[in-house]
């Protein structure tokens, strides 16, 4: 969210002090320096943009998942008898079409990554001990990789004449 | 405890709580759902027997609950996207939440028979 009160343009070099702003406020000279002053040696990007990319991924995958998941619910849970018609033969009929294979594959990957990243956020919020966080996230990672790989194999190796 | 010190939140906080709770529920279901679907690689009988569970009335009712969680998470997720990317999003977040709730109620009413038809027709014939 933007702040509407500050129209002053301050260069990054002076960002930590109010000197030379010309606001006339004597307190400007005493603005506290930030805890980590950027120097010439400070990398422009601290590590990576991972958290920003994760934030963006949640929004992009979320919008796509609205279509994929609601379509999935409509077909498998509501239309033409709802769950009554779901069976091995029904699945075989749907996966005979590459369109639905791609639909399900995309839904599997996006939903698992979206859900897994959401769970990562929840773990980071509530698990206070370093070791607990590490273990929970490790478990989450293993479960996610296992589920995505299993689901992908199932879609690609499906045999209607098993 | 002095009165009025407990933060009870407003629309923003409660929608955040609901988004988080529904998200975690959906994730655990998804995990189970991929596993049960994997039974198509075992045998048609194994898959059909697990799908029979989905047709049991109590589980069918839980499917309606799943639809409720997914619909809220989807609609509120679109609201979050609007808050983040639409310039006026933060200003209208409350109105958007009540829109989400309204649309959710309408869709849930519309999904009642389609989702529960298996149980309803088993019980009442037709």
CB < 8 Å to A145, chain B: none
- The model's pTM is 0.82
Residue B3: inside a domain: no
pLDDT of A19 higher than 80: no
A80 and A141 housed in the same domain: yes
**Same domain, yes or no, for A56 and A128?**
yes
Same domain, residue pair A15 and A91: no
pLDDT per residue as tens digits for the range A92-114: 999 999 999 999 999 999 999 99
Within-domain flag for B1: no
A83 and A143 both lie in a single domain? yes
pLDDT of residue B4: 74
| Chain B residues in contact with A115 (beta carbon < 8 A) | 23, 26-27, 30
Q: Is the same domain home to A36 and A71? A: no
Confidence of residue A2 (pLDDT cuts 50, 70, 90): very low
User: What is the spatial distance between Cα B115 and Cα A73, in angstroms, rounded to a whole number?
Assistant: 9
Is the domain of A26 the same as that of A64? no
A30 has a pLDDT exceeding 80? no
Q: B57 φ, ψ to 5°?
A: -55, -40
| CA gap B80, B71 in Å, rounded | 14
Is the residue at A20 inside a domain? yes
In a domain, A94, yes or no: yes
Say what the pLDDT of residue A36 is: 67
Q: Is B33 on the interface with A (CB under 8 A)?
A: no
Residue B5 counted as domain residue: no
Chain B interface includes A122 (CB < 8 A)? yes
Q: How confident is the model at residue A42 (pLDDT cuts 50, 70, 90)?
A: confident
Q: Is residue A72 part of a domain?
A: yes
Range of the domain at A60: 50-157
CB B96 within 8 A of CB B82: yes
Whether residue A112 sits in one domain with residue A90 = yes
What's the structural domain count of chain B? 1
- Nearest beta carbon to residue A82 from set B38, B70, B118: B118
Number of domains in chain A: 2
Low-confidence ranges of chain B (pLDDT < 50): none
CA A17-A23-A24 angle, to 5 degrees, is 105
Q: B47: distance to nearest CA of chain A, Å? A: 6
Cα separation, B14 vs A149, in Å, equals 35
Q: Domain for residue A162, yes or no?
A: no
CATH of the domain at B44: 1.20.1300.10
Per residue in A121-157, pLDDT tens?
999 999 999 999 999 999 999 999 999 999 999 999 9
Containing structural domain, residue B71: 11-124
């Amino acid at each position: 969210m933007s702040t509407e009160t500050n129209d002053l343009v301050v260069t990054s070099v002076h960002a930590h002090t109010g000197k030379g702003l010309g606001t006339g406020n004597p307190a400007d000279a005493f603005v506290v320096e930030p805890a980590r002053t950027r120097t010439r040696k400070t990398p422009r990007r601290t590590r990576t943009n991972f958290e920003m990319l994760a934030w963006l991924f949640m929004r992009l995958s979320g919008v796509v998942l609205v279509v994929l998941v609601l379509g999935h619910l409509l077909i498998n849970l509501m239309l033409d008898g709802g769950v009554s018609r779901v069976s091995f033969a029904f699945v075989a009929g749907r996966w005979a079409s590459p369109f639905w294979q791609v639909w399900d594959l995309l839904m599997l990957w996006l939903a698992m990554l979206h859900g897994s990243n959401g769970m990562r956020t929840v773990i980071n919020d509530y698990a206070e001990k370093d070791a607990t966080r590490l273990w929970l996230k490790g478990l989450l990672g293993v479960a996610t990789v296992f589920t995505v790989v299993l689901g992908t194999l199932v879609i690609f190796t499906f045999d209607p004449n098993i | 405890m002095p009165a009025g010190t407990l933060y009870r939140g407003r629309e923003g906080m409660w929608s955040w709580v609901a988004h988080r709770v529904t998200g975690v529920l959906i994730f655990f279901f998804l995990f189970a759902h991929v596993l049960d679907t994997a039974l198509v690689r075992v045998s048609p009988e194994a898959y059909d027997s697990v799908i029979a569970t989905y047709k049991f009335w109590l589980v069918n009712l839980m499917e309606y609950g799943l639809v409720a969680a997914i619909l809220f998470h989807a609609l509120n997720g679109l609201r979050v996207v609007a808050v983040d990317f639409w310039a006026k999003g933060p200003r209208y977040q409350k109105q958007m939440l009540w829109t989400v709730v309204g649309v959710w109620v309408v869709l849930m009413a519309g999904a009642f028979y389609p989702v529960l038809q298996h149980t309803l027709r088993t019980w009442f014939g037709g």
